[in-house]
């Protein structure tokens, strides 16, 4: 294959004004993928990534490097030297392995939407690849559209085959279809010096395709890399569209406000003439919320086809939260008219959420529903769910100021924690928040010091000093059921369940754990008598820890009860075995009607024989309403007209203690 390099003169960008330059360019997330046709795990994990990637073709780029091990792979054998160099560059020791914009994410199944639309880039890379009687002429223009951070950069330009197919598997793992296969470099580690803002630098190449390649599937990819950090500044391909959707809002996750929330974006037409584009808005929001978008002062509800002028076209997304507590998710998409490849920006509005399910990326196992179902069983009407990335952005932006409890579903993820997540959870607990955390191999990953070696000092310290759990061992598939410690006042009545091997293969290893200090107790044990669940109470916070994820629990009702018991313990609802604090012979029935609107009636069982008070408490534990109860009273009438919609607790209290708390819902 012949290659020619020509560095053209630096030229000004004539089509875009200063305003356009200050916004930046769309940043495509580049997934560099190390795989092999004889790698067994690759055959299981690559299709999961492919399904994800095919949903985000307009927002991400992918290049697959086929390695020399563990077996036969003709895609490696055709051009081994450059692949070996990339393996050495990243220090890859096993496949599959993946990097997103130069940062290792481990398994390709870890790729998720939180990794997309990662801000804007100060450079735009425009690639053209034209076939002239079998000789391809490639031009790479790198436009500087904002200030490039200080650093030393190099450029890679590669030839990629969009889809390599075999009639029979070329290796031993059964795979026959291979997307975005690296074929060769036109330029590798070529020094790149950014032009001034508003100008560009251009490189030119030629190549003749190898006869083995399928000509119609060949395209060219270029990307710029920071030599010190390996961060990919941006990526361009010869098939990129001439339209970009860019976020210009400071935060894409915010707290809902009564006057409404606005997000700002721009549609950037990089062509030399107006382009017909389709803008669509998809909303997942509470029923009494509303959302629209506007372009050029004209408001649209869900879709519009418009002529976008060259350069910037302002776009606003307007969200009006209703009275319902919850999370609104909004995806604004742009595509050239007639194209199925949509570029998408995601925005989130959060209002009044007190209990949040936070989930790690998971390939094909539902690790969210067991927790949301349990909160529903607890009659919590102020709960919602976010990914780990969404949770961290929401905490950073102040969108979760009312949050009391986090239910963190780690699933079966490596690494299970990050230092940034640990720092955020530490602050949350220090400020009085409570945490349920669950996932198989969390302790093994963070604490064992085995060959996985994922746990950093910060993560290990969090495990020991905040979760206050001791990791005993990795367990074994023989630990296939659990039961409660009957003496436990909060969990003792729940019973037990089988443990399902939801991740398949020989992948059932429930962590054996026990409490590290007297602050904690074991409330749940495996059938082999190893500790499965630990709960911890300090002066600042409470923690519930499970050595498995609740997705492993065979009995869904038991899973619901585990979350419900954790929820109730977090909020200080008296446990059924906590007889020392329960008023003997006095209890309250469920309020009617429930949900209540303006008023509700609560019947009293037993005799009120001393000065007593009735209290209504919110989810944060704040007493909102107190009224005296006369001696001999048989019922209590509660005025709920001034209470906001949501979940509340109520009980009677006197000098001897209190009744068991019950829940009521207010809905006007």
The predicted-structure confidence for 476-526, as pLDDT tens digits, reads as follows 999 999 999 999 989 999 999 999 999 887 789 999 999 999 999 999 999
Q: What is the mean pLDDT of residues 376-400?
A: 93
Q: Check pLDDT > 90 for residue 159.
A: yes
Instruction: Show the tokens assigned to 19.
Output: 């305003």
* Pairing mode of beta strands 599-605, 469-473: unpaired
- Kindly tell me if the per-residue pLDDT of 160 is higher than 70: yes
Domain borders along the chain are: 6-239, 244-350, 352-570, 579-666
* Residue carrying the six token digits 């490639």: 138
How much is the pLDDT for 11?
54
Mean pLDDT of 358-380: 90
Query: Using one digit for the tens of pLDDT, what is the confidence trace for 223-251?
Result: 999 999 999 999 999 999 999 999 999 99
Q: Are the CB atoms for 489 and 535 separated by under 8 Å?
A: no
* CATH number assigned to the domain with residue range 6-239, chosen from the 4 options 1.10.8.60, 3.40.50.720, 2.60.40.10, 3.40.30.10: 2.60.40.10
Report pLDDT for 571. Answer: 86
Percent of the chain scored above 90 by pLDDT?
Answer: 75
CATH number 2.60.40.10 given to 244-350:
yes
Report helix, strand or coil for 389.
helix
Fold for 579-666, please state it: Immunoglobulin-like (2.60.40)
Q: What is the pLDDT of residue 450?
A: 43
Q: Is the pLDDT of residue 645 over 90?
A: no
> What is the rounded distance in angstroms from the CA atom of residue 540 to the CA atom of residue 545?
17
At residue 668, the pLDDT reads 79
Taking CA atoms, 314 is separated from 19, 22, 140, 294, 311, in Å, by 11, 14, 28, 8, 10
Distance CA 69, CA 79 (A): 14
What is the tens place of the pLDDT at every residue in 201-214? 999 999 999 999 99
Q: Which residues of 588-598 are buried (b: 16+ CB within 10 A; e: fewer)?
A: beebeeebbee
Distance of CA 278 to the CA centre of its chain: 27
Q: Residue 585: its pLDDT value, please?
A: 76
- Per the prediction, the chain carries an average pLDDT of 91
User: What is the mean pLDDT of the segment spanning 133-145?
Assistant: 96
Q: What are residue 482's DSSP bridge partners? A: 497, 526
The closest alpha carbon to 405, from 544, 533, 520, 513, belongs to: 544
pTM above 0.85?
Answer: no
Taking the CA atoms of the chain, what radius of gyration do you get in angstroms?
29
Residues 6+ away with beta carbon under 8 Å from 184 = 1, 79, 82, 158, 159, 207, 210
User: In the block, which residue shows the tokens 């330029």?
Assistant: 187
For residue 15, pLDDT beyond 60: no
CATH class of the region 352-570: alpha beta
> pLDDT above 70 covers what percent of the chain?
94
The better pLDDT of the pair 377, 362 is held by 377
Q: Do 409 and 358 meet the contact criterion of CB atoms below 8 Å apart?
A: yes
Q: What is the DSSP letter of 10?
A: P
pLDDT exceeds 90 at position 657: no
Judge whether 145 and 25 are in contact, CB under 8 Å.
Answer: yes
Q: Do domains 6-239 and 244-350 have the same CATH topology?
A: yes
Who wins on pLDDT, 450 or 524?
524
Segment 62-103, tens digit of pLDDT: 999 999 999 999 999 999 999 999 999 999 999 999 999 999
- H, E, C per residue of 62-106: EEEEECCCCCCCHHHHCCHHHHHHHHHHHCCCCCCEEEECCEEEE
Indicate the angle between helix axes 388-396 and 419-430, nearest 10 degrees.
60
379 phi-psi bin (left φ>0, alpha ψ -120 to 50, beta other): left
What's the pLDDT score for residue 17?
39
Candidates 276, 214, 213; CA nearest to 242 is 276
- Is there a contact between 371 and 550 (Cβ–Cβ < 8 Å)? yes
């Amino acid at each position: 294959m012949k290659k020619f390099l020509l560095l053209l003169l630096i030229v000004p960008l004539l089509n875009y004004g200063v305003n356009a330059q200050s916004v930046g360019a769309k940043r495509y997330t580049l997934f560099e993928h190390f795989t092999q046709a004889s790698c067994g795990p690759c055959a299981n994990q690559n299709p999961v990534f492919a399904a994800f990637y095919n949903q985000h073709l307009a927002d991400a780029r992918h290049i697959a490097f086929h390695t020399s091990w563990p077996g036969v792979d003709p895609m490696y054998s055709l051009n081994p030297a450059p692949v070996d160099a990339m393996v050495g560059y990243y220090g890859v020791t096993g496949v599959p392995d993946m990097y997103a914009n130069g940062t290792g994410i481990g398994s390709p199944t870890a790729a998720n939407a939180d990794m997309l639309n990662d801000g804007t880039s100060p450079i735009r890379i425009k690639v053209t690849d034209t076939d002239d009687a079998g000789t391809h002429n490639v031009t790479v223009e790198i436009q500087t559209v904002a200030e490039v951070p200080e650093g030393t950069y190099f450029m890679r330009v590669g030839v990629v085959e969009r889809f390599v197919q075999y009639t029979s598997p070329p290796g031993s793992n059964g795979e026959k279809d291979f997307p975005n296969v690296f074929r060769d470099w036109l330029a590798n580690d070529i020094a790149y010096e950014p032009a001034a803002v508003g100008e560009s630098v251009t490189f030119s190449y030629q190549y003749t395709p190898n006869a083995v390649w399928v000509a119609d599937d060949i395209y060219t990819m270029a990307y710029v890399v920071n030599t010190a950090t390996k961060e990919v500044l941006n990526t361009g391909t010869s098939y990129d569209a001439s339209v970009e959707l860019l976020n210009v809002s400071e935060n894409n996750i915010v707290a809902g406000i009564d006057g409404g929330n606005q997000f700002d974006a721009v549609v950037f037409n990089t062509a030399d003439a107006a382009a017909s584009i389709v803008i669509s808005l998809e909303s997942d929001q509470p029923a009494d919320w509303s959302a629209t978008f506007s372009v050029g002062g004209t408001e649209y509800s869900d879709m519009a086809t418009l002529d976008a002028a060259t350069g910037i076209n302002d776009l606003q997304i307007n969200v009006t939260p209703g009275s319902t507590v919850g999370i609104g998710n909004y995806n604004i998409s742009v595509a050239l008219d007639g194209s199925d490849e949509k570029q998408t920006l995601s925005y989130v509005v959060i209002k009044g959420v007190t209990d949040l399910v936070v989930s790690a990326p998971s390939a094909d196992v539902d690790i969210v529903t067991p927790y949301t179902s349990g909160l529903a069983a607890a009659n919590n009407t102020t709960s919602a769910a976010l990914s780990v990335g969404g949770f961290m952005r929401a905490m950073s932006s102040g969108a979760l100021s009312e949050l009391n409890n986090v239910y963190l579903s780690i699933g079966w993820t490596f690494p299970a924690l990050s230092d940034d997540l640990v720092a955020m959870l530490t602050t949350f607990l220090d400020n009085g928040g409570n945490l349920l955390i669950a996932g198989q191999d969390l302790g093994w990953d963070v604490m064992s010091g085995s060959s996985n070696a994922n746990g950093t000092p910060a993560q290990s310290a969090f495990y020991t000093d905040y979760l206050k759990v001791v990791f005993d061992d990795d367990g074994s598939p023989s630990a296939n059921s659990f039961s409660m410690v009957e003496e436990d006042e909060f969990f003792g009545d729940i019973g037990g369940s089988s443990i399902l091997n939801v991740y398949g293969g020989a992948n059932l290893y429930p962590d054996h754990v026990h409490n590290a200090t007297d602050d904690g107790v074991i409330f749940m044990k495996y059938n082999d008598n190893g500790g499965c669940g630990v709960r911890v109470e300090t002066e600042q916070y409470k923690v519930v820890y499970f050595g498995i994820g609740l997705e492993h629990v065979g009995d869904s009702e038991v899973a619901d009860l585990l979350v419900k018991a954790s929820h109730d313990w977090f909020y200080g609802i008296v446990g059924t075995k906590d007889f020392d604090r329960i008023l003997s012979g006095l209890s309250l029935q469920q309020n009617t009607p429930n949900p209540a609107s303006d008023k509700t009636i609560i019947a009293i069982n037993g005799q009120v024989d001393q000065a007593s008070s009735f209290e209504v408490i919110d989810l944060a534990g704040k007493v909102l309403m107190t009224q005296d109860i006369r001696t001999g009273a048989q019922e209590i009438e509660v005025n709920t007209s001034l209470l906001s919609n949501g979940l509340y607790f109520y009980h009677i209290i006197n000098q001897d203690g209190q009744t068991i708390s019950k829940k009521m819902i207010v809905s006007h």
